[in-house]
Structure 1
Amino acid sequence: MSGTGTSPLDTLVEQLWRLPVSTGQVRVVLNPSADDGWREVESYWVLPNASRAKLLIPLATPQVTAASLLQYRSLRRGKINTARILLGSLARLGLRPVLDKLSVQEPAGQVPGAQPAMPLAAVAARLQDSGTAEGDSSPATGRAGRELFASIGIREGDNRKPTLQLVDGTGKPAGYAKLAWNESSSEFVRTEIGALSAVGGSAGAVRAPALLAVGTHGAFPYLVTEPLPLDVRAVRGRVNGPTPQELFALCPVIRVDRLSSTDHFQALGRRLAGLDPATEPLLAQALDRLAEQLRGRDPVLPVAERWHGDLVPWNTARDAAGRLWCWDWESCEPDAIAGLDAVHWMFSVRRERGEGPVATNLLRAMTDARSFFEAAGLSRDAWPAVVGVYAMVVAERAWTLAVRNGGWASSWITVPELISLLDAAHGLFGTPDERGSVEASPAAPAT
């Protein structure tokens, strides 16, 4: 595999092993035949198969392979969970769970350690350095000498980057690694490192995973966080979503000030100014209309120390004690108006359910977030400002990622949908009667 990103597996090769593959120091082979000229250093099962690859599972002992498939079942739903239980049961019996194997190999005559460590080995060595100095110090081991194996998620969307769920040789969780591979992903990883340096490992009813290690591989950063408890359950169905008290525990309100004074709104304006309006003139016009409304009103609002930036059900879980765990802080920004996370949560819950057009979901999310707004001290007149800023964030993120990825093909939202979202937020600044009709629209209870 060349690492040119022409297939799901080749996309992962591009992100993880592109440089050593391009120099001939490493080759990545699907279903390899015996070859005395090459030595295998990592091997994986490809799920569900090579043509539709979504996940690599370590090809190791039955204990390791089974644990990689069966752990954290309560975070997953439906057919995916059922399939993993079946495959994990096969692996536990020592049977081949799937057909396709991916092998990472180096030349047999190459002196071990003569080249820079590959990503998994680099992460393991960094964990070793961050932990105790005792035990085996080989580059394939982690803290206290534990050998590490990785399940690797294959991402093809705009915000793609390799993610490694780490287990040791006994199948015990050892951490979660996120690796950058280009400038765009580096920005996200650095943001998460900064956020977790502030909130990671926090005590209390809400916990963000602690940082175990940070480092660079090649020119790009990576991070490793502590593993989640094995008993965590996804925040869906009967598992309650965040309360206002929990949300503001990690993102506390620190002052009341003008919208224009916040670091987040100022940074959002700078990012929007860096986008070329000629490439998307209608989207630029819709953004300008809403931004002008917000700047003209410039309301006084409660300001939070930070906002998570992507608080959604798939980034949260509760352990058996009921404590809320909250991860994936790569979109976190400091000094933001309070309530943005609540709108994002409610909007995302409705979007995941497929409940309707994005504009309708946005307006109903505002009503869903009422208790969070009230807890933050937001007056009713200030609600449209929070929704307006959030709509601008959605548009800016989607547009920026489309520019970085050469188009909108892999975006979750279209340009017409973004325009409708922005126009719906702008409409909240209408007459009292118009605002009342929005408040009266039906709202399903949030998760």
Structure 2
Amino acid sequence: MGLNLDRVVTGSGSTPLDQLVQQLWQGQVDTGEVRVVIDPAPNPNWQEQESYWVLPGIAHARILVPRADRRVTAGSLLQYSALRPWKANVVRNGLGYVAHTGVRPGLHRLSVQALVGREGPPVASRLPIAEVQGQLQALQNSVDQHVQLHASIGIRTGDNRKPTLQLIDSLGRPAGYAKVAWNESSRQFITTETAVLQEIGNSSAAMRAPGLLCSGELHGFPYLVTAPLPPDVRAVRRGVEPPTSREFYSLCPVVRMDHVATSIHFQQLCKRLSAPVSAGDLELLGVANHLAGVLRERNPRMPIAERWHGDLVPWNTARDTAGVLWCWDWESSERDAVAGLDAVHWAFSVRRESGMGASTENLSASILEAGQHLHAAGLRTDSWADLAAIYALVMTERAWALARENGGWVRSWISPKELMDLMHAAEGKLTAPLLG
């Protein structure tokens, strides 16, 4: 960890806390306006701005929970327990009940501090709490003390990492969910999700997306905040019904039948795959562009949807007790895409989460498992191989883009060899009469 003798996290290391500093406070840390310190002793030169408990510990931090009133700290741990796997709940629920009694839930705390006596305007927070607080106060037309907000911060270290904030009010109730961009790739994700939610948030469709509370920029990067999910939602696992065909296409309706080359999504996908590439990825992108060329030459007629979600998976969906399906994380959504991609991605991701990996057999099986939803969209069976090839290209382009952004494939969930195997298998299926 990038720690000095005062236990200051500098952001220069590779630990989870260093990575969080890089994502939230690095610019202010570098100028000397702010420091992020573990278990600070009193120091007249620094004034605390934010304070959190570090869980489960500083070496393997996964979440920062607010060091505040016991209701706030406990609420940040106990809310939405039905969205998490049972093993995670055992730990979080235990810590939440401990916090509810007033006992500290962690051994260490993290303090974000501003330099005392510096010239210029006050140090501005990188967290969009004030913006949401103002929005809620405007909605309530009051300055109700319960509008005072706190944030628990999820620490993400994967290739698509960005700070995520669960906002909690003074009574420990959910008040919103925020994402904060910190680099160019996360900027694009936040911008995309904001635009989509402005169109479909708060709809009454069969599948629903959370409403957009507010969005804007902080320190030159965008953020968004969505309304909280219903408190009774359950993850789409362990007996909770997966999406129906009606739900798959309720926010992503089929709008026409057309040749695949007319799809804006396919055109943009091919354009991204033809971007300049480093020597180490030449073979991967060569295989991808060859497969894209085969698809352009075949140019089958396929159903085209208004958009696709882009990452419709069990961990981004939940049902409330009325049975309504809620879906979030629209940051990968793209317009004018071949219908059925979400159904295939769902099946493939369920198999991946079950430990089946990214094998070519799983791609073929996923197409078959999504079959009823592909039929519902009007996708002919003899075009299923084309859909599999498009999906293989999508996975390749996304993984390559994130690896390029992060300087390599170390954090990627899939390897270049696995991607090439998938694309070779998908091309082989294009000449077969049926998948399987």
* Local SS of the residue matching 1:383: helix
In structure 1, what is the Cα distance between the partners aligned to 2:376 and 2:298? 23
Residues 214 and 223 of structure 1 are in contact (CA less than 8 Å); yes or no, is this contact kept in structure 2? yes
- Residue of structure 2 aligned with 1:38, choices 46, 60, 75: 46
Residues 132 and 213 of structure 2 are in contact (CA less than 8 Å); yes or no, is this contact kept in structure 1? no
- Residue of structure 2 aligned with 1:2, choices 10, 14, 18: 10
- Residue of structure 2 aligned with 1:103, choices 88, 97, 111: 111
* Local SS of the residue matching 1:430: coil
Paired residues for 1:84-99 under 5 Å? 84-99=92-107
Structure 2 counterpart of 1:408 = 409
Amino acid at match of 1:409: V
Residues 5 and 12 of structure 1 are in contact (CA less than 8 Å); yes or no, is this contact kept in structure 2? no
Residues 206 and 326 of structure 1 are in contact (CA less than 8 Å); yes or no, is this contact kept in structure 2? yes
- Residue of structure 1 aligned with 2:122, choices 112, 115, 125: 115
In structure 1, what is the Cα distance between the partners aligned to 2:250 and 2:271? 29
Residues 133 and 148 of structure 2 are in contact (CA less than 8 Å); yes or no, is this contact kept in structure 1? no
In structure 2, what is the Cα distance between the partners aligned to 1:23 and 1:278? 36
1:60 equivalent to 2:61? Answer no
Q: CA offset at residue 310 of structure 1?
A: 0.4
* Local SS of the residue matching 1:149: strand
Structure 2 counterpart of 1:301 = 302
In structure 2, what is the Cα distance between the partners aligned to 1:130 and 1:265? 40
Structure 2 counterpart of 1:124 = 130
1:15 equivalent to 2:16? Answer no
Paired residues for 1:20-419 under 5 Å? 20-109=28-117, 114-120=121-127, 122-129=128-135, 131-132=137-138, 134-136=141-143, 146-276=147-277, 278-419=279-420
* Local SS of the residue matching 2:326: strand
Amino acid at match of 2:401: T
* Local SS of the residue matching 2:280: coil
* Local SS of the residue matching 2:168: strand
Task: Return closer, same or farther for 1:203/1:30 CA change in 2, 3 Å cut-off.
Answer: same
Task: Return closer, same or farther for 1:3/1:75 CA change in 2, 3 Å cut-off.
Answer: same
Amino acid at match of 1:19: G
Q: CA offset at residue 357 of structure 1?
A: 4.7
In structure 2, what is the Cα distance between the partners aligned to 1:275 and 1:240? 43
Question: Alpha-carbon deviations, 1:57-98, whole Å to 9, x = none?
Answer: 111111110010011110011321100011011100001111
In structure 2, what is the Cα distance between the partners aligned to 1:284 and 1:20? 38
Q: CA offset at residue 238 of structure 1?
A: 0.5
Query: What is the TM-score with the length of structure 2 in the denominator?
Result: 0.94
Question: Alpha-carbon deviations, 1:92-139, whole Å to 9, x = none?
Answer: 00011110110111234458x92342122x432354147518444xxx
Q: CA offset at residue 354 of structure 1?
A: 0.9
Q: Which runs of 5+ in 1 are unaligned?
A: 137-142, 440-447
Residues 132 and 144 of structure 1 are in contact (CA less than 8 Å); yes or no, is this contact kept in structure 2? no
* Local SS of the residue matching 1:249: coil
Structure 1 counterpart of 2:5 = none
Q: CA offset at residue 251 of structure 1?
A: 0.1
In structure 2, what is the Cα distance between the partners aligned to 1:29 and 1:217? 22
Task: Return closer, same or farther for 1:129/1:263 CA change in 2, 3 Å cut-off.
Answer: same
Q: Percent identity?
A: 52
Query: What is the TM-score with the length of structure 1 in the denominator?
Result: 0.92
Q: Which runs of 5+ in 2 are unaligned?
A: 1-8
Amino acid at match of 1:217: L
In structure 1, what is the Cα distance between the partners aligned to 2:259 and 2:292? 15
In structure 1, what is the Cα distance between the partners aligned to 2:349 and 2:288? 21
Amino acid at match of 1:107: L
Amino acid at match of 1:331: S
Question: Alpha-carbon deviations, 1:273-309, whole Å to 9, x = none?
Answer: 1142633233123213321221111001110000000
Task: Return closer, same or farther for 1:425/1:131 CA change in 2, 3 Å cut-off.
Answer: farther
Q: CA offset at residue 156 of structure 1?
A: 1.1
